Structure 1
Amino acid sequence: MSQFKGSSFSYEKFGACLLLFLIFMLFSIFALRLWYLQVYKGEYFSQKARENVERRQHIYAPRGLISDRNGVLLAVNEPSYSLAIVREDCPDISATLNQISAWTGKELQEIEAEFQRGRSMVRSFENQILVPNLSFDMLTRVETGSPYWPGVKIVVQPRRRYLQGEVLSHVLGYVARANEAELQRDPELRLGDNVGKSGLELTMEHTLRGKKGLKRMEVDASGRVLHEEEIVAPVSGQDISLSIDLDLQQKAHSLMDGKSGSVVIIDADTGQIMALVSTPSYDNNEFVFGISHQNWQELLNNPHHPLQNRSIQSTYPPGSVFKLIMAGMAHMDPEVRTTDRVFCPGQMRLGNRIFRCWHSHGWVDMTKSLVESCDVYYYQLGDRFGVDRISSFSKGSGLGKRTGIDLPHERAGLIPTREWKRQRFNEGWRGGDNLNLSIGQGFTLVTPLQIARFTAALINGGYLYKPSLLLDEVRADPEKLPWSEGARDFVYRTMIETVDGDRGTARRLRTSGVVVGGKTGTAQVVRLLPEHKEDDPEAVEYWLRHHGWMAAFAHAEGRRYSITVLVEHGGSGSGAAGPVVRGLLDHIFKKDKAG
């Protein structure tokens, strides 16, 4: 019995010790865990705790303002309101997205797609913009209902506004929301940011775009801001002044109303662009607000292509304007004299082909050939000089290559060569190609800006300046025309006679007290059938009519301008482009006198 009791006592003692051991181990584990959390990971969890009540948010920087050469504002900023959510504060995202759809009238699928697109780019405690550019009605509805929907925020952003709309849309371009590729390419951009998409807004993006600031906010458990302070101040974008004269730009735009084409006016002595118009145009504000699908499709499907900047992105046969190049080259040839005469019966035969002139001019020397724009004279020069000389001289005169203007997507045009034709068509250069080239037809293509730049060089001493849209741009060393002074002087005087002479094709440009020179050009689009009368463009279907050119210069009181006008399918240079130049001359020089 005593043995049994001793055994029982041993078991009880062992059980008590085991219990004490387990209690000790449990407290040891708690102590070790407490040490791990409070000491080893204390700083980490302290930071996490602070993040629960402290958030950082970017402060938007206003974009730089754009003004014309006289300080008139062209592009400004105004406040806009965007609807965003903070996912961390949003207890029911699906219900919240459904409510946002009800507030804004946007399809739920569209809201959900925008949410999914942006969630990987925005941290859960940051504003994720879902609906930009809220109207005042939408803003009122959201402001009224948002207190009952945690995580819904109204974000104030600067929004671009273009005060002249269509008048300057091809120059200024527009800004719109950055796409995924732009966001990935530029680490400074955030979802919902606007970036330049075209025009100067694109090429001057990093100048116009400011640097965001940063603010620290204390928030409560529901996400309401208790306190905030600025950590880094935002830096506004740099303002820029353009060389454009808004008054002249507006006049040129109005003169092109109802026409498709381009107007380029350059200060010949500096290369600064005073006006750059392309019509038809579009309202660039639509893209800032978010263009509708219907309006976007209308712009894309418009046969007159209003989105295209015709001054630099469209190329055309130069027509008779190209004769200025041919005359300059001929003047420099020692075997050609300006007094040499060619008989023009209204056509020239080469092999079994007939190349026609627009008129029977009789005996023609070099001066008369330009004043009256005789094709036969230049056919013979083309046959004499050949493509190699003509192409080389033309490219040296600024054609067939980009001018370097600070606008995107400028086209180089085309001055054809033997090699180009063989690569393009797998056939050799022919004699008839020389004749077409000599009058600016065939394969030759130029932009209105190239012609304006070349015309400016004729009157400024032979300098091909880079066309500039910025008023304070440092002028780079210009290229030099490969022309002798005598050749330039001859073409200069002959262009004046084309205006002042009784039979000149640019007679309508005569302006009292102003030296004006001009050259008309009628660029053939297709070869018209005999039944189409050349003197009645209205009888020809619009898309088959010739393009009308006028390349002109004017100077008075020390100011020299190069003016080029191109009217698509205008029928003739004198009839279509001439009245536009006439109106510009009246405006410029009446304004100068008034000033």
Structure 2
Amino acid sequence: MNKISNIKLENRIFSNRMVWALIFILLLTLVLISRLFNLQISHYDYYTEESLGNQMRTLPITSTRGKIFDRYGKIIATNQLAYKLTLTPEKTKDIPATLLALKKFGLINDKNIATFETIKKHYKKFHNIPLKHKLSEKQVAKFLVSNQFIGIDIEPYFHRVYPNNDSSVHVTGYVSRMNKKDKAFYNKKNYAGTSFVGKTGIEKQYETLLHGKNGKKQIERNATGRVINSKNIQEPEQGSDLYLSIDLALQKKAESLLKGKRGSIVAVDTTNGEVLVMVSTPIYNPNWFVNGISHKNYNKLQTSKDIPQLNRAIQGLYPPGSTIKPMVALAGLEQGVITAHSKVYCPGFFKLSNVKRKFNDWKRSGHGVVDVKDSIAQSCDIFFYDLADKMGIDDLYDGLKPFNFGKITGIDIPGERGGILPSRAWKKINKDEPWYRGETLITGIGQGFMTTSPLQLAVATAALANKGVIIQPKLLKSTQAPGDSIKNTAKSPQKQIPIKDIHNWEDVIEGMRQTIYAPQGTGRRLNKNLKYTLAGKTGTAQVFGLDAEEQYIAANLKEHLRDHALFTGFAPIKNPKIAIAVIVENAGSGSTKAAPLAKAVLDLYFERPLHK
């Protein structure tokens, strides 16, 4: 039986379907037209740029780092042409497999791969990311002959070199690979493509001067990603060369004198504050850090009890010991507590009323009757115990404060520490305890809570030499931009310590002169064959306190408990040119262990025709 068809119903259904089909086609056409309008008209510039971006790329050109010289133009830090292996992510299909193949080929190791994984997130996919720096000539030749790695290239660059190895490392510092903190700190545009930045010392202090300005180059690639054209659109600007105030010959002399010891020697020009010598020992090789320090060398530095990376010149804080006595004497004279004719009998000990403890002199038999000059020359503790007791901690603090103790000097190098100039307020804040009379006595001989750095001592000694002119020390002497002449830096700020009577300053300086030239002066050994006039002060700083009846015998103590040896001085006495501070940790007597080192440095300084 045949089904009867309904022509009218079928026609209506067909008509409805055609209408919906036409509506769908119309909507689809509108969407396509809208999308074409968006691509070709509304966002034409954007998509044109994106399209060109697949063909054209702008990459940074790293600037050449400025060099560092000493005051006479001797090289301290320079650059050497080297080669690095790079990987471009967008050109490398299988990065893990490529890295493994490079490792098997002998070009990289696990450490290089780990470093790459850490730094790759800081780069874009079209950047050439460094895999390994300072390739050997053999590795470069091996790579160029095979040339089998897609997306892997060898690029020339200038590698930082410290030709004097460990000499002056605490001044110069070193460069090393940029880390996440560095990337966030420095200007992203100017540091794009930069691998190394200064981490310590002058390299860090003047990083932006040394770095210069990066350039830009535009590269053109074809459809397969191969570079078919390259041109520089902005040339890089080389970093400025820096000339430091350091005298490299004096620096090396001081380092040789301190070899095998822990200590520091600092010398400053008394006329302008320029630092001529800044040595801290032990020293280490900054070249270790440039391409990433080895585990062996890193462990060597980290486990050393001598703490080689500590810049003792600005970060080592020590009791100044007797080197503080000239300043204490001056404070007593200026405040009218004593006069140049005041005398004290030294029996070898000092006692406070109603206090059992005896405060011993370094010379147990005593010095007899001494005045200000004698007490400085012979370093009589009893005179200064008595003076400090008469002054009290408040006046003692006020007298020492103008010499900048307890504050940083403001030298142009990172990491300086200020030391401690104790006072009632300081002890209350830091110890939550009252100040005791006996603490005033030991402060008067540079012991107790008081600490200073060798640089602070050198600057304070220079202020004595200048009769109150205290100059901010500096290391940067001049700069030279590419194609420009050498330009001196601005003069260091200076201030005048108030003077009530210039004769007080002259009396103190005479006491320091007698330290070297008087028959009983503690530094009298130095005046043999001395070809210039010298004023000085020896010092011995206790690392720990002894009971009144105990006798200090170095041989019975472990080395780290033995006294520090110190010396400060300036020369010549009239129209002084140089002030020096020396500290040798746990060496004992300042007159025998520190003073001769100062003389050896000063001898070399005055041997130069320039300083005669």
Query: TM-score, normalized by length of structure 2?
Result: 0.88
Q: Counterpart in 1 of 2:192?
A: 190
Q: Secondary structure at the match of 1:167?
A: coil
8 Å Cα contact 2:337-2:391 kept in structure 1: no
* Cα distance change on mapping 1:41 and 1:533 into 2, 3 Å: same
Q: Counterpart in 2 of 1:518?
A: 536
* Cα distance change on mapping 1:215 and 1:244 into 2, 3 Å: same
Q: Counterpart in 1 of 2:496?
A: 480
Q: Counterpart in 2 of 1:501?
A: 518
Q: Counterpart in 1 of 2:480?
A: none
Q: Specify the code of the residue in structure 2 equivalent to 1:478.
A: Q
The alpha-carbon deviation at position 110 of structure 1 amounts to: 6.1
8 Å Cα contact 1:550-1:578 kept in structure 2: yes
Between the aligned partners of 1:12 and 1:319, the Cα distance in structure 2 is: 111
* Cα distance change on mapping 1:191 and 1:180 into 2, 3 Å: farther
* Cα distance change on mapping 1:273 and 1:17 into 2, 3 Å: closer
Superimposed CA distance per residue, residues 275-305 of structure 1 (whole angstroms, 9 cap, x where no aligned partner): 1111111111111121112311221221111
Which of 359, 383, 386 is equivalent to 1:380? 386
Which of 479, 504, 507 is equivalent to 1:490? 507
Q: Specify the code of the residue in structure 1 equivalent to 2:490.
A: V
Q: Counterpart in 2 of 1:124?
A: 125
Between the aligned partners of 2:385 and 2:10, the Cα distance in structure 1 is: 132
Q: Are 1:367 and 2:367 matched, yes or no? A: no
Q: Are 1:527 and 2:533 matched, yes or no? A: no
Any stretches of 5+ residues in structure 1 without a counterpart? none
* Cα distance change on mapping 1:54 and 1:377 into 2, 3 Å: same
8 Å Cα contact 1:323-1:370 kept in structure 2: yes
Q: Counterpart in 1 of 2:156?
A: 156
Q: Counterpart in 1 of 2:484?
A: none
- State how 1:264-283 maps to structure 2 within 5 Å: 264-283=266-285
Q: Specify the code of the residue in structure 2 equivalent to 1:542.
A: E
Q: Counterpart in 2 of 1:420?
A: 426
Q: Counterpart in 2 of 1:208?
A: 210
Q: Counterpart in 2 of 1:85?
A: 87
Q: Counterpart in 1 of 2:403?
A: 397
Between the aligned partners of 2:13 and 2:367, the Cα distance in structure 1 is: 136
The alpha-carbon deviation at position 352 of structure 1 amounts to: 0.7
Q: Counterpart in 1 of 2:246?
A: 244
Between the aligned partners of 2:64 and 2:276, the Cα distance in structure 1 is: 27
Q: Counterpart in 1 of 2:341?
A: 339
Between the aligned partners of 2:549 and 2:335, the Cα distance in structure 1 is: 40
The alpha-carbon deviation at position 405 of structure 1 amounts to: 0.2
Q: Counterpart in 2 of 1:165?
A: 165
Q: Specify the code of the residue in structure 1 equivalent to 2:300.
A: E
Bigger mean CA offset, 190-199 vs 281-290 = 190-199
% identical aligned pairs = 34
Q: Secondary structure at the match of 1:330?
A: helix
Q: Specify the code of the residue in structure 2 equivalent to 1:382.
A: A
- State how 1:287-306 maps to structure 2 within 5 Å: 287-306=289-308
Q: Secondary structure at the match of 1:427?
A: coil
Q: Specify the code of the residue in structure 2 equivalent to 1:101.
A: K
Superimposed CA distance per residue, residues 77-136 of structure 1 (whole angstroms, 9 cap, x where no aligned partner): 122322221111112222112223334565558625633x33432221121223333344
The alpha-carbon deviation at position 260 of structure 1 amounts to: 0.8
Q: Specify the code of the residue in structure 2 equivalent to 1:266.
A: V
Between the aligned partners of 1:299 and 1:6, the Cα distance in structure 2 is: 99
8 Å Cα contact 1:121-1:191 kept in structure 2: no
Q: Counterpart in 1 of 2:584?
A: 567
Between the aligned partners of 1:55 and 1:460, the Cα distance in structure 2 is: 61
8 Å Cα contact 2:357-2:548 kept in structure 1: no
The alpha-carbon deviation at position 271 of structure 1 amounts to: 0.8
8 Å Cα contact 1:129-1:191 kept in structure 2: no
8 Å Cα contact 1:60-1:158 kept in structure 2: no
* Cα distance change on mapping 1:290 and 1:29 into 2, 3 Å: closer
Which of 461, 466, 480 is equivalent to 1:455? 461
Q: Counterpart in 1 of 2:485?
A: none
The alpha-carbon deviation at position 413 of structure 1 amounts to: 0.5
Bigger mean CA offset, 83-92 vs 379-388 = 83-92
Between the aligned partners of 2:180 and 2:80, the Cα distance in structure 1 is: 25
The alpha-carbon deviation at position 72 of structure 1 amounts to: 1.4
* Cα distance change on mapping 1:406 and 1:191 into 2, 3 Å: same
8 Å Cα contact 2:246-2:275 kept in structure 1: yes
The alpha-carbon deviation at position 39 of structure 1 amounts to: 5.5
Q: Counterpart in 2 of 1:590?
A: 607
8 Å Cα contact 1:513-1:556 kept in structure 2: no
* Cα distance change on mapping 1:255 and 1:44 into 2, 3 Å: same
* Cα distance change on mapping 1:38 and 1:506 into 2, 3 Å: same
Superimposed CA distance per residue, residues 517-546 of structure 1 (whole angstroms, 9 cap, x where no aligned partner): 110000000135799865x64453211110
The alpha-carbon deviation at position 144 of structure 1 amounts to: 3.9
* Cα distance change on mapping 1:216 and 1:503 into 2, 3 Å: same
The alpha-carbon deviation at position 485 of structure 1 amounts to: 1.5
8 Å Cα contact 2:472-2:494 kept in structure 1: yes
The alpha-carbon deviation at position 10 of structure 1 amounts to: 13
Q: Specify the code of the residue in structure 2 equivalent to 1:501.
A: A
Between the aligned partners of 1:420 and 1:290, the Cα distance in structure 2 is: 43
Q: Specify the code of the residue in structure 2 equivalent to 1:66.
A: I
Bigger mean CA offset, 217-226 vs 336-345 = 217-226
Between the aligned partners of 1:551 and 1:505, the Cα distance in structure 2 is: 12
Q: Counterpart in 2 of 1:578?
A: 595
Between the aligned partners of 2:102 and 2:7, the Cα distance in structure 1 is: 80
Query: TM-score, normalized by length of structure 1?
Result: 0.91
* Cα distance change on mapping 1:4 and 1:325 into 2, 3 Å: closer
Between the aligned partners of 2:167 and 2:104, the Cα distance in structure 1 is: 38
Q: Secondary structure at the match of 1:294?
A: helix
* Cα distance change on mapping 1:541 and 1:105 into 2, 3 Å: farther
Bigger mean CA offset, 373-382 vs 74-83 = 74-83
Q: Specify the code of the residue in structure 2 equivalent to 1:567.
A: V
Between the aligned partners of 2:111 and 2:242, the Cα distance in structure 1 is: 41
Aligned-residue Cα RMSD (Å) equals 3.2
Between the aligned partners of 1:6 and 1:249, the Cα distance in structure 2 is: 111
Q: Specify the code of the residue in structure 2 equivalent to 1:208.
A: L
Between the aligned partners of 1:5 and 1:258, the Cα distance in structure 2 is: 114
Q: Secondary structure at the match of 1:214?
A: strand
- State how 1:218-257 maps to structure 2 within 5 Å: 218-257=220-259
Between the aligned partners of 1:345 and 1:12, the Cα distance in structure 2 is: 130
Any stretches of 5+ residues in structure 2 without a counterpart? 478-487
Which of 539, 548, 557 is equivalent to 1:540? 557
* Cα distance change on mapping 1:16 and 1:421 into 2, 3 Å: closer
The alpha-carbon deviation at position 479 of structure 1 amounts to: 1.9
Q: Specify the code of the residue in structure 2 equivalent to 1:590.
A: E
Q: Are 1:468 and 2:474 matched, yes or no? A: yes
Q: Secondary structure at the match of 1:241?
A: strand
Q: Secondary structure at the match of 1:445?
A: coil
Q: Secondary structure at the match of 1:263?
A: strand
Q: Specify the code of the residue in structure 2 equivalent to 1:186.
A: Y
Superimposed CA distance per residue, residues 478-516 of structure 1 (whole angstroms, 9 cap, x where no aligned partner): 122244421211111111111011111011221534111
Q: Are 1:433 and 2:450 matched, yes or no? A: no
8 Å Cα contact 1:77-1:160 kept in structure 2: yes
Q: Are 1:554 and 2:585 matched, yes or no? A: no
Bigger mean CA offset, 372-381 vs 92-101 = 92-101
The alpha-carbon deviation at position 387 of structure 1 amounts to: 0.4
8 Å Cα contact 2:244-2:475 kept in structure 1: yes
Q: Counterpart in 1 of 2:134?
A: 133
